[in-house]
Amino acid sequence: FAVESVVERGLVLGGVNVTDRWVEDVTLADLVAASVEVSSGRVAVVFGDVVLTYAEFGVRVNRLARWLIGRGVGPDVLVGLAVERSVEMIVAMHAVVAAGGAYVPIDPELPVERIGFVVESAAPQLVLTVSAFVGVLPVGVDVVVLDGLDVGGLSGGPVSDGDRVAPLRSGNAAYVMFTSGSTGRPKGVSVSHGAIVNQLAWLAGEYGVGADDRVMARAPFTFDVSVWESFLPLTVGARLVVTRPGGHRELDYLAGVMVEHAISVAEFVPSVLAALVADGFGGALGSLRHLFAGGEELSPELAVALGSLTSAAVHNTYGPTEAAVTTTAHRIVGSVSGVVPIGTPVWNTRGYVLDSRLRPVPVGVAGELYLDGAQLARGYHRRPDLTSDRFVANPFVVGARMYRTGDRVLWSAAGSLVYLGRSDFQVKIRGVRIELGEIESALGALPGVSGAVVVVHGGSRLVGYVTVASSVGSVDSVGARAAVGLVLPSYMVPDVVVVVDEFPLSSAGKLDRKALPEPVFGSRVFRAPGSASELVVAAAFAVVLGCESRVGVDDDFFVLGGNSLNATRLISRIN
């Protein structure tokens, strides 16, 4: 296409993709070291009663980094981290990066089999953990227990290339984040220093995040939002307030932390924001300057409610794991009607809305979103096949790559991207990215199961359908749900598994997902609450879950649609 026709067809759309900004060619380690030097006496990290100044934080990071260097950790060498959210976790993340390595977050609460697969796939040189989690790690892995490690004899001075096993450059990997995979196994996304540095530069430069801010780290560190939460404040001299393990699910606790520490910058998934508002904790948002909502669709109703509760700038954000956290953002100003846009590309990032032949589509027409620019990941760790499939040549910029997001979007007349949904079977539930194919593989691997299909019901409920091999006779649906819970994270376990004789097919002979039978949630036999306590609990179930039908004594909160977030709402209401 000629430039004129490209502009006309919405590729650039009046300069939306002109996002070039100068960002210094440095590493995360460089940024943190410079911040420690100029902010030595200021508070860097707060975790409960533990408070570290920048000087103290720098000493702890550099000593551990030097120990790691002594163990051969350097550029593009992976180090696993199986640690709960804590000061130790933050120090370890920064120490791996300072040594020149790339950290691999491993959630110690995951099923042992899944932890083993992540460790096997990543092949880290060693895994840092604490004594409480040694037992969940695979045998044969080089495990280092942080709470028994003595690094006091090592220098706490800044680590430089003179200390590292090889020079560290912006193109080296900073972290490898594992996410759900359509082939039945999670895949690791490798992100460079340069990509995340661009993200932090955009946040600091676009929104003025600086030394006077207080940033809350609440996202699980196996999700990429945790990267900017854990690094941004410590690169600009701000204060990082780390929430306790599991605290990201406790609304009253989160509200208390925000009020106590006057948090000024934070990110939440919209479902958590909606719960904060619904349960009367919206006042805790009052100290915010910037509130980022990402990972899920932000409804116009919630956007309006947030505008009435805080004077903060509210931003709807979007970004796949395959790019450094946030790739587009939209600031909500004034009244909101219709779909809330996901905005325009961030610094040094471009977004293209293309058809199946990689041609730009006109404004207002749906297409697939492709991303390119400084924040693109290096690819999938040790998976060149997946990398070549999803990271393709950019026909509009010589020598550049684009990432195929699989997301259907359009350009609005106002010049913003509007999210329409997926073009495949990837979903997001409460901000967590899930490939339905991975759940189907787990169900299909169960004894006696001949086929499996998973769908999303009601926007947030996972339902599995299985067929039974003729030689087996039957499969216990409750037992099937329990069995996949041994290999999948809890958020990927179907709320109910339905056994069917066969899958319905369309006239073209393809699976007709819409014709699958309606699932039944909860107890099939109703037993009414009798005691006063049972009546209170049943009523709390009904209110928190929005149950249209009666709640019986034998009903299971999680089978009815409960999750870790609204479980905390339930406990609060019962108390």
DSSP state of 515: G
Report whether 285 contacts 292 (CB < 8 A): no
pLDDT in tens, 138-161: 999 999 999 989 998 999 999 999
pLDDT in tens, 34-47: 999 999 999 999 99
Range scoring the smallest mean pLDDT among 368-377, 394-403, 426-435, 480-489: 426-435
Range scoring the smallest mean pLDDT among 163-172, 179-188, 227-236: 179-188
| Better pLDDT: 523 or 208 | 208
**Across residues 17-38, what is the average pLDDT?**
96
315 sits in the region (left: phi over 0; alpha: psi -120 to 50; else beta) called beta
**What percentage of residues in the chain have a pLDDT greater than 70?**
94
Give the per-residue pLDDT at 244. Answer: 94
Give the per-residue pLDDT at 524. Answer: 58
Q: Give the torsion sign (CA, 296, 300, 301, 306).
A: positive
Distance separating alpha carbons of residues 99 and 2, to the nearest angstrom:
47
How many C-alpha atoms does 476 have within 13 Å on its Cβ side?
5
Give the per-residue pLDDT at 432. Answer: 77
Give the per-residue pLDDT at 14. Answer: 47
240 pLDDT above the threshold of 90: yes
Give the per-residue pLDDT at 487. Answer: 87
Report whether 234 contacts 94 (CB < 8 A): yes
Contacts of residue 127, defined as CB under 8 A and 6 or more positions apart, other chains included, come to 79, 80, 81, 82, 106, 119, 137, 141, 142, 143, 144
Provide the pairing of β-strand 391-393 with 401-411.
antiparallel
In this structure, which amino acid lies at residue 372? D
Give the per-residue pLDDT at 506. Answer: 73
251 pLDDT above the threshold of 50: yes
Give the per-residue pLDDT at 437. Answer: 84
pLDDT in tens, 104-129: 999 998 999 999 999 999 999 999 99
2 pLDDT above the threshold of 60: no
Q: Quickly state the pLDDT bin for 344 (edges 50, 70, 90).
A: very high
Range scoring the smallest mean pLDDT among 295-304, 360-369, 427-436: 427-436
**Across residues 179-208, what is the average pLDDT?**
91
**Across residues 384-395, what is the average pLDDT?**
95
Give the per-residue pLDDT at 8. Answer: 47
**What percentage of residues in the chain have a pLDDT greater than 90?**
60
| Better pLDDT: 5 or 205 | 205
Report whether 71 contacts 149 (CB < 8 A): no
**Across residues 96-110, what is the average pLDDT?**
96
Tokens standing for residue 10: 């919405």
Contacts of residue 161, defined as CB under 8 A and 6 or more positions apart, other chains included, come to 167, 168
Distance separating alpha carbons of residues 403 and 351, to the nearest angstrom:
10
DSSP state of 549: S
Q: Angle between the 477-484 and 436-444 helix axes, to the nearest 10 degrees?
A: 120
**Across residues 375-389, what is the average pLDDT?**
96
**Across residues 91-100, what is the average pLDDT?**
98
Q: Angle between the 564-574 and 532-545 helix axes, to the nearest 10 degrees?
A: 140
Range scoring the smallest mean pLDDT among 3-17, 182-196, 327-341, 411-425: 3-17
Give Cα 117 distance to the centre of its chain: 19
Give the per-residue pLDDT at 3. Answer: 43
Give the per-residue pLDDT at 477. Answer: 80
Tokens standing for residue 312: 């903060």
Provide the pairing of β-strand 239-242 with 367-373.
unpaired
Report whether 400 contacts 370 (CB < 8 A): no
**Alpha-carbon separation of residue 99 from 152, 157, 234, 514 (angstroms):** 17, 13, 17, 52
**Across residues 199-204, what is the average pLDDT?**
98
Give the per-residue pLDDT at 182. Answer: 62
pLDDT in tens, 320-343: 999 999 999 999 987 777 889 999
pLDDT in tens, 292-309: 999 888 988 999 899 889
**Across residues 307-323, what is the average pLDDT?**
94
Give the per-residue pLDDT at 523. Answer: 58
In this structure, which amino acid lies at residue 329? A
Range scoring the smallest mean pLDDT among 2-16, 225-239, 488-502, 558-572: 2-16
**Across residues 376-400, what is the average pLDDT?**
94
pTM, rounded to two decimals: 0.85
Phi/psi for 452 (5° steps) reads: -145, 140
The DSSP annotation for 109-145 comes to TS-HHHHHHHHHHH--SEEEE-GGGGGGSPTTS-EEE
In the chain, what is the greatest distance between 2 CA atoms, to the nearest angstrom?
75
**Alpha-carbon separation of residue 565 from 247, 252, 434, 545 (angstroms):** 10, 11, 17, 11
E strand map for 367-487: 367-373, 379-380, 391-393, 401-411, 417-422, 426-429, 432-435, 449-457, 461-468
Q: Quickly state the pLDDT bin for 12 (edges 50, 70, 90).
A: low
**Across residues 360-367, what is the average pLDDT?**
92
| Better pLDDT: 459 or 258 | 258
Q: Give the torsion sign (CA, 456, 458, 464, 465).
A: negative
508 pLDDT above the threshold of 70: no
Report whether 347 contacts 323 (CB < 8 A): no
Report whether 323 contacts 375 (CB < 8 A): yes
Give the per-residue pLDDT at 517. Answer: 87
Report whether 222 contacts 105 (CB < 8 A): yes
**Alpha-carbon separation of residue 357 from 83, 251, 366, 367, 417 (angstroms):** 45, 46, 14, 11, 20
